[in-house]
Amino acid sequence: MNANEGSTVGGVPPEVIAFLSGKGGRSLIVKGGAGTGKTTFGLELLERVGQPNRSYYLSTRVGDEALYRQFPWLKTTEMRTRVLDAAKLFLDTIQAGGKAREPELPEPEQRKVKAAREALASFGQERGPPTRVDRTHLHALLKRSPMPEVENVYNRIERALPEKSLLVIDSLEGVTHKYGLEMEEFVMALQKDLVEGSSTDVVMILEKPEAGGIEYLVDGLISIQREELDERRVRHLRLEKLRATNIGRARYAVTLDGGRFAALGLTNPHSGPVGQGPWKPVNDPERYYSTGIPDFDKILGGGFRRGSVNAFEVDVNVGIDDYYLLFTPTFLNFLAQGRGLIAVLAAGESPQRLRETLIRHVPANTFDTRVRIPDYTAAETEDPYILPMARFGRDEALRAMVTAQKAVAGPDRKPFMEYTAFDTFESLMGDQVAIRMYFQGVARTKHVGNLGIGLLKPGLLVSSEVLNMMDTYFRIINVDNAPCIYGIRPRTTIYSISPDPEKGSPHAILTPVV
């Protein structure tokens, strides 16, 4: 995909796409400690932003075969032509007679260049797009030490002119150490010769977290850091400087899943495409209920165990729409198979909005007959799925709940889901009463074979007692505007939650944050 065809390309932040899509050349330093993903980011730029025959990856740290083992997706013929092994370039130059000879352009291209120069010469000087690479600063460096692989790259870029090229150098330390150069003078040569003089985009990978005095020489600066979050690894990409580019978001969580670099949360997960038509149930394995999300089922070993209660602790900066990305497929998968739902909603959750979301994919009658939502603030309602609990005394409330359970179980007495938001329970009944009532509910759930989903929010007094009753325990968090989940029991890595890009919401996928 061409960088100008959309706001995002693959897993590359749109700000980086815009920066490298501007007129003229741009220089970018990518810095970070060992293992942060700098090489993977550089290779992703090569494929997602660079164009065939006009993008090059100069590797000075590892040979190309080592790259292919680590990144198998580079083995395609097109990508192989972009990976330039510095050692091989050196041998190629020696075999060519000790001098990096400039490749000749095809005859038609030579005629075009000649005609362009003649036309421009009529104005007294050459103007317009460059047709030769400026080598002024490179020649100054070559007087001290031959650099055949760097000369070779200059030649390749010149052959592509007047079209713009992309060069990724991995790493700056590798080149400057090899030839005894100061990093500042080498960056200055690339900036003046290629970026400013030849309209080339140059991405330079730095092997350390600090760029020192070279930051002011370049147009852009990106850092990649790695941190531990609850003993789980998370990487962050920080946009520190992108000259003449609007930075909408300064930081992105990233993953290196499958050897590919991807920034998370590139688009609003709630404004993407919406799947159409009835929900097609995901089959339940024996002794399990599918979550409706194949990725989540795999993490759980098949799904939620029948008769289990499962806790989801939601961080303070996670919104309702974020955790509904995870729960909506489970609701739909139950309803689409003729099972029911009793839901004690959290503060801020809306019964009407839940119905509106679900009846896009299951019949409205199915929702109205197999869903019951106790509303402890309502004394009356015209909606058949709402229980107006405020008008009931204690005994009447218990009878109303029994009636609701029979309704959602249906005439065939199928198991149903019990969704409980504990902030509602605790605020209405106090922590001790809420714990006793839920303990009784857990016993019923396990005996009948229902599915229990418990939602915990920050600051609840019941949390520790409730978690002791749970079979699984997950946390839902926000990492750089990307909703994520990870398991405490069972222990899992962190996964980002997002709509399925092919099916659209409410279908969801979980991507490992590694």
- Written as one string, the DSSP assignment of 121-188 is HTTTS--SS-SS---HHHHHHHTTS--HHHHHHHHHHHHHTTS--EEEEE-HHHHHHHHT--HHHHHH
Tell whether the model's pLDDT for residue 343 goes beyond 70.
yes
Q: pLDDT grade, residue 404 (50/70/90)?
A: confident
Q: Report the sign of the C-alpha dihedral through residues 154, 159, 162, 166, in that order.
A: negative
pLDDT at 4 over 50: no
Structural domain harbouring 195: 14-263
| Whether residue 212 is found in the same domain as residue 336 | no
Output the pLDDT for position 97. Answer: 46
- The verdict on residue 272 lying in a domain is no
In a domain, 303, yes or no: yes
Average the pLDDT over 3-12 and give the result: 51
In this structure, the strands spanning 341-344 and 417-421 are: parallel
Local structure of 507: helix, strand or coil: coil
Return the closest-CA partner of residue 201 out of 13, 21, 14, 2: 21
In terms of domains, do 366 and 248 share one?
Answer: no
Whether 139 has a pLDDT exceeding 60, the answer reads yes
475 in Cβ contact with 489 (< 8 Å): no
Q: How many domains does the chain have?
A: 2
Indicate whether 360 and 465 sit together in one domain.
Answer: yes
236 in the same domain as 331: no
Residue 478 covered by a domain:
yes
Whether residue 93 has pLDDT greater than 60: no
- Length of the chain counted residue by residue: 514
Within a 13 Å sphere around the CA of 414, how many CA atoms are in the beta-carbon half? Answer: 16
Bridging pattern class, strands 251-255 and 262-263 = antiparallel
Residue 20 φ/ψ, nearest 5 degrees? -85, -5
The predicted structure's pLDDT at residue 90: 44
Query: Is the residue at 269 inside a domain?
Result: no
> Rounded distance, CA 164 to CA 25, Å?
8
454-465 pLDDT, tens digit each: 999 999 888 898
Asked, for residue 275, whether it belongs to a domain, the answer is: no
- Asked if residue 225 and residue 297 are part of one domain, the reply reads no
Lowest mean pLDDT among 229-233, 342-346, 379-383: 379-383
Section 136-145 average pLDDT: 91
Helix or strand or coil: residue 313?
Answer: strand
Kindly state whether residue 277 falls inside one of the protein's structural domains. no
Query: How far is it, in rounded angstroms, from Cα 67 to Cα 64?
Result: 5
Q: What is the pLDDT of residue 236?
A: 95
For residues 44 and 3, the answer to whether their CB atoms sit within 8 Å is: no
Residue 225, strand partner residues: 236
Q: Is 346's pLDDT higher than 70?
A: yes
57 neighbors 243 (Cβ within 8 angstroms): no
Cβ–Cβ under 8 Å, residues 502 and 273:
no
366 and 245, same structural domain?
Answer: no
Q: 389 pairs with which residues across the strands?
A: none
| Same-domain status, 102 and 225 | yes
3-state secondary structure of 486: strand
Q: What is the mean pLDDT of residues 223-228?
A: 93
- pLDDT number for residue 76: 62
DSSP lists the bridge partners of residue 227 as: 234
Q: Using 50, 70 and 90 to split pLDDT, how confident is the model at 98?
A: very low
Average pLDDT for the chain: 84
**Mean of pLDDT values over 223-250:** 94
Look at residues 263, 298, 327 and tell me which one is the last residue of a structural domain. Answer: 263
Does one domain contain both 234 and 359? Answer: no
Shared domain for 73 and 179, answered yes or no, is: yes
- Is residue 154 domain-resident? yes
> 258 and 401: one domain?
no
- Report the distance separating Cα 482 and Cα 503, nearest Å: 19
Q: How many angstroms separate the CA atoms of 317 and 115, rounded?
A: 62
Kindly report, residue by residue over 37-61, the tens digit of the pLDDT: 998 999 889 888 888 788 888 887 5
Residue 337 and residue 297 share a domain: yes
Residue whose C-alpha is closest to residue 376's, from 384, 368, 365, 387? 387
Looking at residue 118, what is its pLDDT? 53
Which 3 state secondary structure label does DSSP give 303? coil
Tell me, yes or no, whether 246 and 303 share the same domain: no
The 3-state DSSP class for residue 230 equals coil
pLDDT band at 425 (very low <50, low <70, confident <90, very high): confident
Dihedrals φ, ψ of 500, to 5°?
-65, 120
> Does residue 389 lie in a domain region?
yes
Token output for 177: 């150490």
Calculate mean pLDDT across residues 65-84.
Answer: 57
Which residue among 263, 279, 304 closes a domain?
Answer: 263
Q: Write the CA distances from 382 to 182, 368, 386, integer angstroms.
A: 78, 11, 8
**Confidence at residue 126, expressed as pLDDT on a 0 to 100 scale:** 46
Q: Which spans in 200-275 are helix H?
A: none
Q: How much of the chain, in percent, has pLDDT values that exceed 90?
A: 52
End-to-end alpha carbon distance in the chain? 25
Q: Is 4 helix (H, G, I), strand (E, B) or coil?
A: coil
Q: What pLDDT band is residue 69 in, cutting at 50, 70 and 90? A: low
More confident residue, 162 or 89: 162
**Does residue 368 register a pLDDT over 90?**
yes
Looking at residue 71, what is its pLDDT? 61
284 secondary structure, DSSP code: P
Closest by CA position to 375, among listed 409, 349, 403, 406: 349
Is residue 405 a contact partner of residue 342, using CB atoms and an 8 Å limit?
A: yes
pLDDT value for 8: 43
Task: Decide if pLDDT at 272 tops 90.
Answer: no
Q: What is the CATH number of the domain that holds 230?
A: 3.40.50.300
**67 burial type by CB count under 10 A (0-12 exposed, 13-18 middle, 19+ buried):** buried
- Inform me whether the pLDDT recorded for 200 exceeds 60: yes
The yes-or-no verdict on residue 212 having pLDDT over 80 is no
Q: How is the beta sheet containing 27-32 ordered, strand by strand? A: 83-85, 55-59, 166-170, 201-206, 27-32, 220-229, 232-242, 251-255, 262-263
Average pLDDT over residues 142-159: 90
Highest mean pLDDT among 20-24, 263-267, 290-294: 290-294
